[in-house]
Amino acid sequence: MDDSLVPFFKPRGIVVIGVSTSEGKLGHGIARNLTNCGFPGPIHFVAQRGGSLFGRPVHTDLAQVPDPVDLAILAVPPAATPDVLRTCGSRAIPAAIIVSAGFREAGDEGARLEALCLDIAHSQRIRLLGPNCIGIIDTHLPLDTTFLQPPMPPKGNIGFVSHSGAYCAAIIDWARGQGFGFSQVASVGNQADVTEVEMLAAVGADPNTNVIVLYLEGVSDGRRLVAIARELTPRKAVIALKVGRSEFGHRAAASHTGALAGSDRAYDAAFENCGVLRASTSAEMFDWARAIALCPAPAGNRVAILTNAGGPGVVAADAVALNGLSMAVLGEKTRRDLTDILPPSASVRNPIDMLASATPGVYAESLQTIAKDGGVDGVILILPPPPMFRAEEVAAAVLPVIRAAGKPVLVTLMGSALTAVAHDEFTAARVPVYAFPEAAVSGFAALVRRTAPLSSTLADLLPPQVSPTIETLDSMSAEDLMASCGIASARSALARSASEAVTAARELELPVVLKVVSADIPHKSDADGVLMHLQSEREVSEGYERLLRQVRARRPEARIEAVQVQHEIAGGADVILGVVRDPDFGPLLMFGSGGIEVEAMQDVAFALAPVSDEGAGRLIRRTWAGRRLAGYRSVAPADEEAVVNALVRLSWLAHQHPELAEIEVNPLRVQPAGRGAYALDVRIRLTDATPANQPIGTRTVA
């Protein structure tokens, strides 16, 4: 943990400035919670009126407060906050929490006030949490700097970092009845100073925290978030709910890659790179968190389903498939033992249906039998209200088996009033409980994903040997750049007359393709700017004039620079490779189905650049286009190795050259295995900071 954050989590003494005897005031709630939480250090109160509160004196001046004090909690009006911060600085208090609202979130005047507070804090060497936040909770210290209604959440091993204080309040209250507790809770609010990235590192350093959940509305430093999470996730699970899914619409006209690489895909790629599990909903985030916090790690993804009713078992089996898990195949001995335990009409194949008559003893004996099977990595135990027994009797019977299993057992308690006591017994025993089978299966899937190894770190990656010509981009065409970094292109030439086109076609070897070259036409086919399969010199000559007529009819305002004559490479599979520079996370590498319908098909996947051969292979296999490279029905396998090589080289090119804003190779035509891949069309855009009029920024030849 950064030393400057220690006072937030382990303060030697605390002062609350702006306490109130009125129960409706924030200062009253903070004083109440600090007094009642059992914080072991000194607690002091300051307010203009003085007096006493909760058996403690209320000082009228911070100078009256005895040392040590290294955390101040400010519950004063926004306009009074700057002066209070100056006073804290005079006492050398190193950390302050501003709980008041009315700053940046309230408009321009509030933003100026927040900036002033930050300037004062910097000048006084005070770290600020907030404003507009609820503060810090540590259930193990214990410490509660919030104004939330008591009691504190129960002790647990889940850390929670949130941009939203209201979300914190709701989740803390909800969690009290869900059978899990928190270790630390940190609300960062407007994060004028201390950010969610710093809090992730701080909560990750807590020895009582095994799982960290993040509620994110954005990210202050994407690259640092990835670096910190990569360091944490091999030891502690990190689960994120990133809200505000949006796209960078202004990129859409530049390239397919830019149109598809919105901020949401960037978060997906970043989280995958650093091992963060991204949840889609609040419920999913905590379904995963409780599974990881309470269960042992599974050896694999093979799930057994044990139930007393067929319908819930089928629902669970469908969820297993949807989550990419495998239904465990029970061994012959397991099936024989289950046959001895269960009635003849029961199903001893997965899912195991014990029938409604299953007694608590049958539940326990069947679960023990399944858990011993070496082909079972985890069990989903489904318990609707038993018609002949109480659910709590089943809970009492199976709990010893669950404790001894050594494998994850996730319980689905379907019902409410009839399963309420059983729910309490399972949660008291720290067994994860879910209301429906789908949630339990999702929790097991998170356990499996949690065990997946991270991709190679940047320090482990070795860049491919790249020609020194890449050191400068000033005079390079897109074709030159691809060649310099080792990506083969179809042979081509530029023509500015029909006769030049014929000469080029003769030198390149027929058949050829003609393509319009215009900085105003990013997608040539949209302007009828491509003619293919030209077999003779006459067809080339006539095609040159026809191409210009077509383009001028469709795009009369476009400036046509030339016509590209390109040797036609027949056959093969067309894919797209691309790079776009995300403002938060840096270059994103894209792979997917190529051609003119790439945006409509949406068969693309993204990864943070650079990637290794292994990372490029994973990226490829996440798409249908990539899986098809291995061969499909009558389609022979294509040269996947050449695609991997191109992806790795493109990713390193983008990583090493921040002046490259976008690169798109569409299509890359992949030949049969062992015969390579060729870039047929390349678009490259430089960043706005790069000097204008560079050939590489306007040329689209390859």
Sign, Cα dihedral of 72, 52, 100, 188: positive
- CA–CA dist 371, 357 (Å, integer): 21
- CA–CA dist 658, 585 (Å, integer): 12
Alpha-helix runs per DSSP H in 602-666: 613-621, 624-628, 640-656
Pair of tokens at residue 228 = 């910190």
Q: In what order do the strands lie in the sheet with 211-216?
A: 143-144, 135-138, 182-187, 155-162, 211-216, 237-242, 277-278
Residue identified by tokens 């390349």 is 682
Q: What is the pLDDT of residue 250?
A: 36
SS3 state at 45? strand
Q: Which domains does the chain have, with CATH numbers?
A: 3-209 (3.40.50.720), 301-431+442-450 (3.40.50.261), 491-567 (3.30.1490.20), 573-698 (3.30.470.20)
Q: What is the pLDDT of residue 323?
A: 96
Assess whether pLDDT exceeds 50 at residue 696: no
Average pLDDT in the chain: 89
Write the pLDDT tens digit of every residue in 193-250. Answer: 999 999 999 999 999 999 999 999 889 999 999 999 999 999 999 999 998 765 443 3
Pair of tokens at residue 287 = 């379904």
Which residues, other chains included, contact 402 with Cβ-Cβ below 8 Å and sequence gap of 6+? 367, 381, 409, 429, 431
148 pLDDT band, cuts 50/70/90, is very high
Mean pLDDT over residues 250-273, rounded? 65
Write the pLDDT tens digit of every residue in 504-549. Answer: 999 999 999 999 988 888 778 888 999 999 999 999 999 999 999 9
Assess whether pLDDT exceeds 60 at residue 23: yes
Other beta carbons within 10 angstroms of residue 175's beta carbon come to 20
- CA–CA dist 285, 306 (Å, integer): 25
